[in-house]
Amino acid sequence: MHAFPVGAATTLDELARDPHPRLALLRAREPVSWLPELDGWLVTRRDLALEVMRDAVTFTVDDPRFSTAQVVGPSMLSLDGDAHARHREPFAPPFRPRAVHDGFAAFVERETDRLVTALAPAGAAELRRTLAGPLAVAVVTEALGLVGTDADTVLDWYESIVRAVSDITAGQDADPAGAAAYAQLRAAVEATLADRGAHSLLISAAERLTPSEVASNAAVMMFGGIETTEAMITNALLHLLRHPDQLALVQADADLLDGAIEESLRLEPGAMVVDRYATRDTVLGEADIREGDLVTVSLAGANRDPAVFADPDRFDVRRANARLQLAFAHGPHHCVAAHLARLETRVALRCLLGRLPGLRLDPEHPATPYGLVFRKPPALHVRWG
């Protein structure tokens, strides 16, 4: 491990606060590096990141150390091979592009309009907690179709489960509230499956999965649909408001909005890393990986690889290859609801920019993204009018 001095000098605090200069140094000198503070390998070059994420046989998620599975049990997030396909496939159809438009576009438009209408008279707001978060929670609640469950309840479950997963990731005992929240979620899933009049994604999934498996995947959908979508909306808005020249381009040409979203995902993915575990001794780049080693892929590092993205630190809404970003991961674990997350972000940005004239960052409350695993500003204060 002495062969990786840049990794040895890398701290997790630095990666949470200001990761990009250190990730660039790692990518240039040690694209697969051993980080003692991580007790594992960090992969920062895009081609090597793709190699890891495509090869689920050599680099698996199916390991007892996988923190989410310790809280909610096996799911599409923590299984590979045939088991992964069996868990994922029942949930995939509603999240294909045409199905997303037909099934969710009207709801997302209505919910966004409701949230922005409530904000508009104030002239100022903190948009992460008053728009991005509530929209993501409402859409997940709608998507799951849990009988007798409202958005506030889903949010409470989500926050408790996230805390428990974070505790395990940090090497601590899980907050017992996480297990209690998951038990309540599982009970709600079972009630939904028993309701003959209900129409829910969970009921169709139960044709191929056990109730326990439906519940674990519902938790994963809840986790991914709230955490990363909230970050996606917040980060995209921050990028646009920080770069008035790019915002002006989008306002002059609405077709550039999708480019702005992809470019924001490239520069600041909501999920910074994905974890894998080596199933055998192997070589990755110039690193000798041992069976059982943690191999963490830095999506943020891969997304700023200068071999793929020219001037990689610049926010450019007209970047031709921005969709090569890996914010939704790649391979068999590519985010199943990526199209829905894009829809939510597109509608939210379009509504905010169209309905709140003069939208700008509040200089009294600077916003800076933060996070080791999930990255977004803790708050995004804005003014308008």
Asked whether 73 and 48 are in contact (CB, 8 A), the reply is no
- Pairing state of beta strands 282-284 and 287-289? antiparallel
Band of residue 357 on the pLDDT scale cut at 50, 70, 90: very high
Mean pLDDT of the 331-340 span: 97
- Pairing state of beta strands 124-126 and 59-60? unpaired
pLDDT one-digit tens code per residue, 372-385: 999 999 999 999 99
**What are the backbone angles phi and psi of residue 125, rounded to the nearest 5°?**
-165, 165
- State percent of the chain over pLDDT 70: 100
pLDDT one-digit tens code per residue, 45-93: 999 999 999 999 999 999 999 999 999 999 999 999 999 999 999 999 9
**In the sheet where 294-298 sits, what is the strand order?**
32-35, 40-43, 294-298, 273-278, 59-60
Domains of the chain from N-terminus onward? 5-383 (1.10.630.10)
The closest alpha carbon to 243, from 270, 273, 268, belongs to 268
Mean pLDDT of the 236-262 span: 98
pLDDT one-digit tens code per residue, 171-182: 789 999 999 999
Q: Which helix (H) or strand (E) holds 16?
A: helix 12-17
Chain-wide mean pLDDT for the chain?
96
Band of residue 368 on the pLDDT scale cut at 50, 70, 90: very high
Higher pLDDT among residues 167 and 119, named by residue: 119
The closest alpha carbon to 231, from 352, 367, 106, belongs to 367
Please tell me the least confidently modeled range out of 19-23, 174-178, 349-353.
Answer: 174-178
Which tokens sit at 250? 């989008």
CA–CA separation, 7 and 52 (whole Å): 19
Whether 128 has a pLDDT exceeding 90, the answer reads yes
Amino acid at 10: T
pLDDT at 2: 72
Mean pLDDT of the 178-203 span: 92
Neighbours of 194 (CB within 10 A): 11
Mean pLDDT of the 213-236 span: 95
Rounded to the nearest 5 degrees, what angle is found at the Cα of 376, between the Cα atoms of 374 and 379?
135
The closest alpha carbon to 140, from 80, 75, 230, 207, belongs to 230
The closest alpha carbon to 79, from 209, 255, 232, belongs to 209
Which tokens sit at 64? 């007892």
**Long-range own/partner contacts, residues 173-180 (CB < 8 A, 24 or more apart):** 174/70, 174/71, 178/71, 179/71
pLDDT at 181: 96
The pTM for the full model equals: 0.95
3-state secondary structure of 194: helix
Asked whether 217 and 191 are in contact (CB, 8 A), the reply is no
Band of residue 354 on the pLDDT scale cut at 50, 70, 90: very high
pLDDT at 1: 56
Whether 167 has a pLDDT exceeding 90, the answer reads no
**What are the backbone angles phi and psi of residue 243, rounded to the nearest 5°?**
-125, 80
pLDDT at 33: 98
Asked whether 35 and 315 are in contact (CB, 8 A), the reply is no
Neighbours of 92 (CB within 10 A): 13
CA–CA separation, 296 and 305 (whole Å): 16
